[in-house]
Structure 1
Amino acid sequence: MMAAVGLKRRSFMDIHHGTLALASSRGLTAFVTEFVKHLVGRLRPDFMSRCQWDAVATACTGKLSAIEEGRKSFPSGHSSTAFSGMMLLSLWIAGQTGAWCFTGPPPAMSVLSSHMLRFFLAMLPLIWATWVAISRLEDYRHHKEDIIVGSLLGIGFATISYLMYWPSPLLAEGAHLPRMLYHDDGRREQDHFQLYGVEGDIDIDNTT
C-alpha cells in the first residue's frame, strides 16, 4: 500500500521510507522474538502431544523438530509478526487520512469525509492482527502471556519504526508527509512541504 501510494504520487521518498520502516519493524521484532524464545524455552500448551512421551523408555518419541519447536512458546512469533506489520500499516493509514487527529480541520468532501470511516479503515489492520493473535490461543499453540508479550513487541517496534520515518499521526498538519532525513537546513525542509503542496507556514521543528 505504501509503494502503491508512492507510485501514484511519483514519490521515491514515500517508497523508500515505507520499505525501510517495514524492514526495520519486522527485523527488530523478529530478532528480539527469536532471542527471547531461545533464552526462555517455555513449553507450549501442546508440548506433550509433540513429545509423545514413552513411559517405558522415559523419553519423548516424537519428531525432534516438533519437540524443539514445542520449547519456543514465549513470546508468540505469530503475534509479534502480525502486529509488527499491521501496527505500522495502521499508523500509516492514520497519518495519511488524519483518522487519529481529532482537532484538525475536516478534509474536503470525498468518500473519506466521514471521520468514523477513516478511523475504521485505520483500525482494520489491528483487527486482523488481533485475530491472528487470538487464533494462536484457540489452536492451543501459546499461553495468553506469550500472545500478550508478542503483540506488545510488535506494536512497540512498529511504532518506533514508523516515527523514524513519519511524523506522529496525531498532528493536525503534515502527518502524511515522510520525514526529510537528509537535509542541510530549514530551507530544504520548507521546500519539501512545498513539493507536497502544503501551503502556509509550517513549524519545522514540530514536523521533523
Structure 2
Amino acid sequence: MPKSNKQWAWRISFDVACLLIVGFSVLAFYLAGRPFERGFYCDNDSIRYPYHHGTISSTVLYSVGFALNMVAVSVARQSTPAAVAVPLLVFFTVGQPFERGFFCDDESIRFPLKPDTITNLACYAVAVTLTVIMMSIVEYFHCKHCHRQKTMEVCRLKVHPWFWAIYQMVGVFAFGAACSQLATDIGKYSIGRLRPHFIAVCRPDVLENGSCTDHTYITNFKCLGPDEKAIREARLSFPSGHASFSFYTMVYLALYLQARLTWRATKLLRPFLQFVCLMLCWYTALSRVSDYKHHPTDVLAGAVLGAIVAVLVAVFVSGMFKRRCAAADIAPVSRQNTVNNSEPLQPV
C-alpha cells in the first residue's frame, strides 16, 4: 500500500475510533446512567407547571438534526436572504404562539399598556436605512482608492465596481438580518412568554369574575379583550425583536466600519461612529423595558442573539476582514490603464 494511502487509512481509523468512544459513552449514560436525586423547596414556583408532551420528539430531533446538517453542507454556498425570509413570512402570517398560562398573583404581567417609544416601523426603517447609507458611502471611497478598474463584467455587462460592492455587502447584511429575525421568531412562538402588559390587554375572565385567587396556576381561561392581534402579540415577549434586530444591525455596522473605513485623516471618526451605533441599539433595548413591552431578560436575550449573529455573519460570511487597504497604500495608476481595463473584478 502506498504511503499516502496508509496515512489516509490511519486518519480515518483514528477518526472512527474517536467517534465510537464518544458514541459508546453517550449510550452508556442512556442505558445505565442515574440522575442525582435532588430535593426541592416547598415554595419553588419553577417546578409547579403542568406536564405537557414534548413539542419535538427525540426521533424528530435526531432525524431532522442529522438530515438538516447534510442538506446544509450541500447547499450552503447557494444560500440567499430569500431562502431564510420564507419562514419569516410563514411565522408572521399563520404562526400561533404557545399559549402559556399564568399564576394568579404574578405581578410581572400586570403593568399598564403604553405606546411604543420606538415603533416597529421606526426600528426597522432607521436601522436598515442607516446601514445601507453608511455602506454606500464607505464602499464608494473604498472602490475609488482601492480598485484599479473603472468597470467590471457581471453577466457580460459592464458595471461600476461600486455597484457590485454594494450588492455584495448589502446582500450579506440582509442574509444575516433574516437569520437573526428567524431565530427571534422561533423563540417567540416556541416560548410564548407573556408580556408585562398581558393582563391589561387580555383581561382574563378568571380575574374578572374573581375565581383566580392565591398562588394558582391558570391555563384554562378566556381573554375578554377586544383586540385579538394585541392579545396575540402579548404572548410574544421572549426574546425581544427590537433588541435582536437593533443589536444585529448596529453591531454589524460597527464591525463593518472597523474593517472597511480606512480613512487615516482622523483617529476618532471611526470609534465615534461605532459608539453612536452601539448607543442607538442600547437605547432601543432599554426603551422596551420602560414601555412595559418586555421583561429585562427578554431584552438581554434578544441583544445577545442579535450581537452573536452579527459577529458570525461579519467574520465568517461577509469576508470583510480578509482584505483591507487604505488610500496611502495604493500606488498611483495611469489614467489610460485605469480606463481601458475592464477585466472581471475579484470580490474584495
Alignment TM-score, normalising by the size of structure 2: 0.43
Matched, 1:81 2:81: no
8 Å contact from structure 1 (residues 3, 18) kept in 2: no
Q: 1:161 to 1:13 in 2, by over 3 A?
A: farther
CA-atom RMSD in angstroms: 2.6
Which residue in the other structure is 2:224 paired with?
61
Structure 1: how far apart are the matches of 2:251 and 2:320?
15
Query: Which of residues 118, 129, 135 in structure 1 aligns to 2:270?
Result: 118
Structure 2: how far apart are the matches of 1:71 and 1:198?
59
Structure 2: how far apart are the matches of 1:65 and 1:13?
41
Which residue in the other structure is 1:72 paired with?
236
Q: 1:85 to 1:198 in 2, by over 3 A?
A: farther
Superposed displacement of residue 61, structure 1: 1.1
Q: Which has the larger radius of gyration?
A: 2
In structure 1, list runs of 5 or more residues that go unmatched. 99-106, 178-195, 200-207
Superposed displacement of residue 119, structure 1: 1.5
Query: Which of residues 235, 238, 254 in structure 2 aligns to 1:90?
Result: 254
Name the SS for the 2:239 alignment partner. Answer: coil
Superposed displacement of residue 24, structure 1: 1.3
Structure 2: how far apart are the matches of 1:119 and 1:151?
21
8 Å contact from structure 2 (residues 138, 260) kept in 1: no
Which residue in the other structure is 1:25 paired with?
176
Q: 1:11 to 1:69 in 2, by over 3 A?
A: same
Superposed displacement of residue 16, structure 1: 2.1
Which residue in the other structure is 1:40 paired with?
191
Query: Which of residues 284, 306, 310 in structure 2 aligns to 1:132?
Result: 284
Q: What amino acid maps onto 2:189 in structure 1?
A: H
Superposed displacement of residue 34, structure 1: 0.5
Structure 2: how far apart are the matches of 1:127 and 1:15?
25
Which residue in the other structure is 1:162 paired with?
314
Name the SS for the 2:294 alignment partner. Answer: coil
Q: 1:176 to 1:43 in 2, by over 3 A?
A: farther
Structure 2: how far apart are the matches of 1:176 and 1:70?
49
Structure 2: how far apart are the matches of 1:42 and 1:197?
55
Q: 1:6 to 1:117 in 2, by over 3 A?
A: closer
8 Å contact from structure 2 (residues 244, 305) kept in 1: yes
Q: What amino acid maps onto 1:69 in structure 2?
A: E
8 Å contact from structure 1 (residues 21, 165) kept in 2: yes
Q: 1:176 to 1:131 in 2, by over 3 A?
A: farther
Q: Deviations over 1:150-189 (max 9, x none)?
A: 0111111111221222344xx8xx4469xxxxxxxxxxxx
Structure 1 stretches of 4+ moved >4 Å? none
Equivalenced residue count is 166
Structure 1: how far apart are the matches of 2:172 and 2:298?
25
Which residue in the other structure is 1:6 paired with?
139
Superposed displacement of residue 47, structure 1: 0.5
Structure 1: how far apart are the matches of 2:320 and 2:324?
5
Q: 1:198 to 1:167 in 2, by over 3 A?
A: farther
8 Å contact from structure 1 (residues 82, 154) kept in 2: yes
8 Å contact from structure 1 (residues 6, 13) kept in 2: no
In structure 2, list runs of 5 or more residues that go unmatched. 1-133, 144-160, 211-220, 333-347
Superposed displacement of residue 133, structure 1: 0.4
8 Å contact from structure 2 (residues 180, 309) kept in 1: yes
Superposed displacement of residue 198, structure 1: 7.6
Identity %: 30
Alignment TM-score, normalising by the size of structure 1: 0.70
Structure 1: how far apart are the matches of 2:197 and 2:163?
47
Q: What amino acid maps onto 2:294 in structure 1?
A: H
Which residue in the other structure is 2:338 paired with?
none
Q: 1:86 to 1:176 in 2, by over 3 A?
A: farther
Q: 1:152 to 1:198 in 2, by over 3 A?
A: farther
